[in-house]
Amino acid sequence: MRRCLVAWALVVAPFATTTRAADQPKTAAKPNVLFIAIDDLRDWVGFLGDNQVKTPNMDRLAARGLTFTRSYCAAPVCNPSRTALMSGLRPGSTGVYENNADWRTTNAAGVTHLTKHFMANGYFASGAGKIYHGSYPPPKDYWNDFANQGAEEDDTPKAKKGKPGDDSWGFGNFQFGPTTGGDDSLADYHIVSYCVKELRKKHDKPFFLACGLHKPHLPWHVPQKYFDLYPLDQIKLPPVKENDLADVPPAGFRMAKPAGDHKKIVEAGKWKEAVRAYLATISYCDAMVGRLIDEFDKSAYRDNTVVVLWSDHGWHLGEKEHWRKFALWEEATRSPAVYIVPGLTKPGTVCERTVDHMSLYPTLCDLCGLDTPKHVQGKSIKSLLGDPAAPWADPAVTTYLHNNHAVRTEKWRYIRYADGSEELYDHAADPHEWTNLATAEKYAGVKKDLAKWLPTENKPDAGKKGKQ
């Protein structure tokens, strides 16, 4: 269901009368949490070394804390990724593998989710935007207050989209082009405004404030000024290999769907235009993060708040002849993760260990002095936040659809599909995953060691079969 921007005006109207930072109370004994969730943001951010994108605000945020260079999602799809992170249960433990599975009808609804756990331990939990998948918002008692839960990703008013011929193009829900409106013509602007209002309030309890930004999720419609940051003749395409799918097993080929998005984009000659639109949308998101952080810095809570920024998964832009997420390769599974923890993380630090987003729930509990519920399947990474070089044996594990998994260590990516077919990539020698080593006998021992980390619980698919 679409929400109109008029409704947002009602949400954010109180801002002018809210209490400013100078009037705030002393900081609470337990740290607050500022939880910044971004949709579809891959590793194209400045703080992870990308030299094409412009993300000055996320870069300055990362410079204040610790960045994980090898952070991965639990699932390369919005709904299962978010369900896993918020519930603490991996996709195989719930059967939530796709966007068509209602987690509220599975055992994921029978455990204590992240915000409910914080609320039970004296926190005020509020937020706005996309934290859970919009189709399946949680019951109202998962928050003390929440704005815009369940809003559509396509939040661009049609009247404000650009006209055909002005860099607009697309098919189905793969649409991009400039809007004629300003930053406030998109829901993300008002999501941040709600969070700004919360930061201006007096809080007599520690708070858990969630800011869920939709962009850079499709459609890639943002104001023209963000497109102007990226002249088309300067766009660099991601590195690709011709016939890269030749050594990929049929199960992987079916996920890639080379005759789908990729064929349409290439045949239309729109590859650079699509990359430009994705970059523009990232920069719009970055501007919204900037607004949030500017207000956070003015608040009384800056010195007693754990800040975590994460994205639900990555995104392909033609690598492996694939677009979007919905795959188990590096581009779809790697996503940014930044932690700022007063008194623990050091500014500008980087951790090269492999972690996945199942660690967020237990880590936030650990940092805030809360017991971690027994059902939570991830492990706290607090030790890495204090010492990025600390020993860490666990790989990152990602699941897409029933019984298809990827195991990622600092050196290897191992994929095993439900039919038993495999892929193996040596990231030290092959960072783009161009050469599948799985059929080489000399790597049998490597595969055996990595296979020990494959999930053993693979519940039936809780969603109805349909178009992926």
What is the chain's percent helix, strand, coil content, to nearest 5? 35, 20, 45
Output the CA–CA distances (angstroms, integers) from residue 14 to 18, 40, 130, 135, 348, in the order listed: 7, 31, 22, 28, 36
Output the CA–CA distances (angstroms, integers) from residue 257 to 203, 254, 263, 468, in the order listed: 50, 5, 9, 10
Whether the pLDDT of residue 337 is over 70: the answer is yes
Q: So what's the pLDDT on residue 66? A: 98
pLDDT tens per residue across span 379-402: 999 999 999 999 999 999 999 999
Sequence-separated contacts (24+) of 189-193 with Cβ below 8 Å: 189/288, 189/291, 190/5, 190/8, 190/11, 190/12, 190/128, 190/148, 191/128, 191/129, 191/147, 191/148, 191/288, 192/288, 192/291, 192/292, 193/8, 193/11, 193/12, 193/15
Q: Position 228: which residue type?
A: D
Q: Which residue bears the tokens 């404000």? A: 160
DSSP class of residue 338 equals: E
Q: Helices (H) and strands (E) in the chain — how many of each? A: 14, 17
Q: So what's the pLDDT on residue 265? A: 97
Average the pLDDT over 169-190 and give the result: 94
Contacts of 357 (CB under 8 A, 6+ apart): 71, 72, 73, 74, 81, 84, 85, 310, 312, 335, 337, 378
Q: Which residue bears the tokens 């002095």? A: 369
Mean pLDDT computed over every residue of the chain: 91
Whether the pLDDT of residue 229 is over 70: the answer is yes
Under CATH, what is the fold of the domain 5-16+29-395? Alkaline Phosphatase, subunit A (3.40.720)
Average the pLDDT over 267-281 and give the result: 98
Residue scoring higher pLDDT (235 or 180): 235
Q: Which tokens in the block code for residue 179?
A: 């809007």
Residue scoring higher pLDDT (3 or 130): 130
Q: So what's the pLDDT on residue 166? A: 60
CB count in 10 Å sphere of residue 64? 16
Rounded distance between C-alpha atoms, residue 22 and residue 298, angstroms: 9
DSSP class of residue 317 equals: E
Q: So what's the pLDDT on residue 167? A: 74
**Residue extents of the structural domains in the chain:** 5-16+29-395
Contact call for residues 74 and 81 (beta carbons, < 8 A): yes
Q: Which tokens in the block code for residue 164?
A: 């055909």
Whether the pLDDT of residue 156 is over 60: the answer is no
Residue scoring higher pLDDT (464 or 73): 73
Contact call for residues 467 and 100 (beta carbons, < 8 A): no
Q: Residue 453: which H helix or E strand, with range? A: none
Residue scoring higher pLDDT (301 or 29): 301
Q: Is the bond into 219 cis (omega within 30 degrees of 0)? A: yes
- Smallest CA-to-CA distance from 63 within 293, 284, 283, 226 is with 293
Average the pLDDT over 80-100 and give the result: 98
Instruction: List the catalytic residues.
Output: 78, 133
List, edge to edge, every strand of the sheet that includes 174-179. 169-171, 174-179, 220-223
Average the pLDDT over 245-259 and give the result: 98
pTM for the whole structure: 0.91
Average the pLDDT over 26-50 and give the result: 91
Rounded distance between C-alpha atoms, residue 362 and residue 159, angstroms: 44
Report the DSSP pairing between strands 145-147 and 124-129: parallel
Whether the pLDDT of residue 104 is over 90: the answer is yes
Average the pLDDT over 37-56 and give the result: 98
Q: Position 253: which residue type?
A: F
